[in-house]
Structure 1
Amino acid sequence: MKFETPLIVTERLLLRMATKEDIPLIIQYFADNKTYLTPFYPRWSEGFFTEEYWQLQLELNLHEFVNDCSLRLFMFLKNNPKKIIGIINFTNFVRGVAQYCNVGYSIAETEQGKGFMTEALQAAIGYVFQELKMHRIMANYMPHNQRSGNLLKRLGFVVEGYARDYLLINGQWQDHILTSLTNPSWQAK
């Protein structure tokens, strides 16, 4: 049985799960943005910048999507579909009486301030709410990352709390502001 993965199309972007043909593009995205992303990322895993690592990662991503555990999307420009400009990861799917997940994202340093992440997240959130039937999406950001805070506010995320030493980012425990967005038209699958 062939499993269909999502293709989310916006005015300027294509959002989709990566395939093995995309591995060089993924490695290029992270290599080009490593210095920029390092303060916002966990420590880079051994082998992170290798084809072998990404071959396994993409198999895991597909397995998790098929088993309703995560959705990991890569952002491509519509007019340049051979270049990744960002990623959006919906992870930690919890079903039952909860129906929620977390979202994390990054965008290339050179593509900041162009509205791409707002456009991408609006479309991806629509997919997660309508097609995957999530009730709540949670996003957390470090207090000094005001760009991320402003983005989430623009998208309608509401601050719900402050967690001290919440995530291990670049080898240091970092405080995070906790936010969420709920699906106003949620209906059971």
Structure 2
Amino acid sequence: MIEAPVFITPRLIVRLLSQRDIPAVIHYYKENRAFLEPFEPTKPKNFYNREFWSHQIDKSLIEFSYDRSLRLFIFNKSQPDKIIGGANFTQMIQGVSYSCCLGYSLAESEQGHGYMTEAIQASIQYVFDDLNMHRICANYMPHNRRSASVLKRLGFVIEGYAGNYILINGKWEDHILTSLTNPNWAER
């Protein structure tokens, strides 16, 4: 099995979860539930329990080993056991597309410090260089200005607008479609 990456940035540790992280991930989502809910799909009933996360962690490692996803969580170096956010590269397609989708979240208390930009920047380098993706798509709701700013700082370009695109918190939401392409992509 391929070794899961760990990205160390000046302020952060970005990595896949392990079983020992279950209490931290449950705490992250419970603590930020009201803040994140307007931006995320409706959670399953068992989302906040150990069994759910134990299965999710195993599933994430399997998906990673088969080049299907890279589900990362963000930890501040000053509190390496506390999750402050997540960045997921999913829907990985090899072959003619070499593309994936990016989704992310950050704790309400950690907003405005540039953590998400820092974490995703390190992750993108790995997704482009090691996983050989050509295109990363990321979408945001038009009223989510913070997300728009993060993507712009990272070099994502707007490609379009999709009405009623993703089911968020029980409601179909419009999204701005963006992407970032790998300028150094080469077929392997």
Normalising by structure 2, we get a TM-score of: 0.98
**Number of the residue aligned with 2:123:** 124
Q: Which residue of 2 aligns with 1:158?
A: 157
Provide the rounded CA distance (Å) in 2 between the counterparts of 1:27 and 1:45: 13
3-state secondary structure, aligned to 1:44: coil
2: distance between equivalents of 1:188 and 1:123? 22
1:61 is paired with a residue whose SS is helix
Which 4+ runs in 1 deviate beyond 3 A? none
1:176 is the counterpart of 2:175: yes
Paired residues, number? 188
Paired position in structure 2 for 1:136: 135
Give the aligned partner of residue 67 of structure 2. 68
Question: 2: distance between equivalents of 1:55 and 1:3?
Answer: 20
* CA apart distance, 1:180: 0.1
Deviation for aligned residue 1:187:
1.6
In the TM superposition, what are the counterparts of 1:30-45 in structure 2 within 5 Å? 30-45=29-44
Pairwise CA distance, 1:146? 0.8
**Deviation (angstroms), 1:3:** 3.6
What's the offset of the Cα at 1:46? 1.3
Q: How far apart in 1 are the matches of 2:131 and 2:76?
A: 24
Deviations 1:21-75, CA, capped at 9 Å, x for gaps: 0000000000000000000010111100000000011111011000110000010
The alignment status of 1:87 with 2:86, answered yes or no, reads yes
Structure 1, unmatched stretches of 5+, are none
Shift of 1:188: 2.2
Per-residue CA distance 1:111-158 (angstroms, 9 max, x = gap): 000010010111111110011110000000000001101110111000
Deviation per residue, 1:91-116 (Å, 9 max, x gap): 00011110000000000000000010
2:76 counterpart residue number: 77
Structure 2 regions of 5+ residues with no counterpart?
A: none
In the alignment, the residues of structure 2 paired with residue 44 and residue 91 of structure 1 have an alpha-carbon distance, to the nearest angstrom, of 18
Sequence identity of aligned pairs in percent? Answer: 55
Q: TM-score, normalised by structure 1?
A: 0.98
For 1:19 and 1:110, locate their aligned partners in 2 and report how far apart those are by CA, in whole Å. 24
Distance 2:41 2:62 in 1: 22
Letter in 2 for 1:137: I
Paired position in structure 2 for 1:101: 100
* Residue of structure 2 equivalent to 1:115: 114
